[in-house]
Structure 1
């Protein structure tokens, strides 16, 4: 193994680990938010507070990470704004708008088709033809996702589907911007800026009544115990926003948008397992089979992309 091969493998391993941390962190938001919903919180209130706390916590660290180089912020102001509006605010708002017209399962299936959208975008826009194995991985992952989300008897709504497609576009933008390694922005700074823009945008939607906001101070029930509402919100902000976005950006820069997007599907599996552990929602056998298919699809995509990268490196070395 050459030095370059060792560096590439180490970078990939670190990226996979960061992507798993990001997916698990994001997935924790479902069970925690579900516990707050049961006490009277609206989804809009939960997501607004979650993103605002994440922004407030990350902003000082994002400023320090710049090391006084505010020029990089000015050069990337449009990208930061796009990240906050699409990757943060639009993804959240469009999903909640979708589930007002259709069931959660189909809405999530449409949103989580983002990895396939990323593959198509990179192919058509940048000429990055995916490896043959990637197509097989897409089929496996989407079939598994459909089983995990249990679409039995699901109703189709054109309006809901349109909103879910908006969430998919936002999620795709999230993965594509995360993978931009040429911006000069530290992951902490991009995450802090994006969450701040997202919090402002969601706050504006709440102010005009498009994002219903209702809160409660009743304790939440998690794992059979009552937990103070502010503790749940703190974890939502620190972990499912702060940690999730920073590690997601760091993973994207190491893995590229395609592999990072498919690794993001692990969020669905982790959410099912966490709902089992924290809320007592036991997954069905069909969901477990679906989870195995999603994992198989992610592995196939990762291996296919790794093989493509090795071939490209060999061709570059021999040129």
Structure 2
């Protein structure tokens, strides 16, 4: 029986790992489009949300039928989905991609993974309860990893620009908001529907600023391939695989496995785009990945109590 259960979890593990790799590589594709094809980050984010949102909503309709529209029945739910789309989705997408344009995919992805630390801090304040020992350790590791990543251990100089650091930390804060704000909606409605509507609402609202009908950058076969990858693999399939993995192995294990994302972004940026990633960068990356692991397992322990 134990062997059968373990065997049944293999597809879920593979799906969680695949979604993390897809997300990581999509960040490198974005860097390629910004650096070599001159695409505007805001333009790319707008189309990613609009196209990805439409595909996810269509998927939700085919799988859940009327449930895909149920979020629009109550005024309080409508307000929350609008807030999630206009604020949460736009913020987490734009800050991340803009951070990539200022630094590189590896650094931006790793900085965004500080987000869970802010989530822990929010719930500690909200519940008026001190974090547990593992969460204190995670905070120290996150700060140490960030310090090594942006300074290489020097107290006198930054190895990335102040703007890149600012937007990277902002993307971590946006990720925290994106994680916390839709919790109530996700308890009631389908994750595919919530994410799809959130993306579409965010994309349409952001288009009022970005004017996506004006073509950005240089378009050739490389541009189409990278753009297509971001939409199909980095958005739709990554999200679908992650949802499926959660249903098989649980949210805690799936989230822990998704910490592979910064590694995939770093490796593809180094080997494909020749991004310089030195020893201190790798040490900082490992410390931040350990942070994610500690926070994930501390959450699991709390749920078990």
TM range (shorter): 0.7 to 0.9
TM-aligned CA deviation for residue 164 of structure 1: 5.5
Alignment match, 2:24: 27
Whole-angstrom CA distance in 2 between matches of 1:80 and 1:132: 35
Query: Which residue of 1 is the match for residue 292 of structure 2?
Result: 298
Candidates 178, 186, 192, aligned match of 1:188: 192
Task: Give matches, 1:62-101, under 5 Å.
Answer: 62-69=60-67, 70-75=69-74, 76-95=77-96
The secondary structure found in structure 2 opposite 1:283 is coil
Equivalent pair of 1:148/1:290 in contact (CA under 8 Å): yes
| 1:74-153 equivalences in 2 (<5 Å) | 74-75=73-74, 76-95=77-96, 111-127=112-128, 129-148=130-149, 153=157
Within 5 A, what are the aligned runs for 1:1-319?
20-37=17-34, 38-69=36-67, 70-75=69-74, 76-95=77-96, 111-127=112-128, 129-148=130-149, 153-154=157-158, 166-177=170-181, 179-180=183-184, 183-207=187-211, 214-220=216-222, 229-246=223-240, 254-255=250-251, 260=255, 266-281=260-275, 283-310=277-304, 312=305
> What TM-score results when the alignment is normalised by the length of structure 2?
0.75
**Cα distance in 2 between the residues matched to 1:18 and 1:131:** 31
Q: Which has the higher helix share?
A: 2
Shift of 1:184: 2.4
Superimposed CA distance per residue, residues 143-174 of structure 1 (whole angstroms, 9 cap, x where no aligned partner) = 224434556632775x8777656533321122
How far the C-alpha of 1:191 sits from its partner, in A, is: 1.6
Contact 1:40 / 1:214 at 8 angstroms: preserved in 2?
A: yes
Contact 1:206–1:213 (CA under 8 A) maintained in structure 2: no
Could you tell me the TM-score, scaled by structure 1's length?
0.72
Q: Which runs of 5+ in 2 are unaligned?
A: none
CA distance in 1, matches of 2:224, 2:58: 22
**CA distance change for structure 1 residues 250 and 168 in 2, over 3 Å: closer, same or farther?**
farther
Distance 1:72 1:10 in 2: 36
8 A Cα contact 1:133 1:304, kept in partner = yes
- 1:40 and 1:215 in contact (8 A); partners too: yes
Q: Following the alignment from structure 1 to structure 2, what is the Cα–Cα distance between the partners of residues 161 and 280?
A: 21
CA distance in 2 between partners of 1:189 and 1:23 (Å): 21
Question: SS where residue 183 of structure 1 aligns?
Answer: helix
The 8 Å contact of residues 112 and 171 in structure 2, kept in 1 or not, is answered as yes
Structure 1's unaligned 5+ residue stretches are 221-228, 313-319
Shift of 1:193: 0.7
Tell me whether 243-252 or 138-147 shows the greater mean CA deviation: 243-252
User: Any idea what SS the aligned residue of 2:73 has?
Assistant: helix
The answer on whether the counterparts of 1:80 and 1:193 sit within 8 Å (CA) in structure 2 is yes
State the alpha-carbon separation in 1 of the partners of residues 177 and 30 from structure 2. Answer: 24
Report the CA distance between 1:272 and its aligned residue: 0.5
Matched pairs, number = 293
Deviation at 1:189, TM superposition (A): 0.9
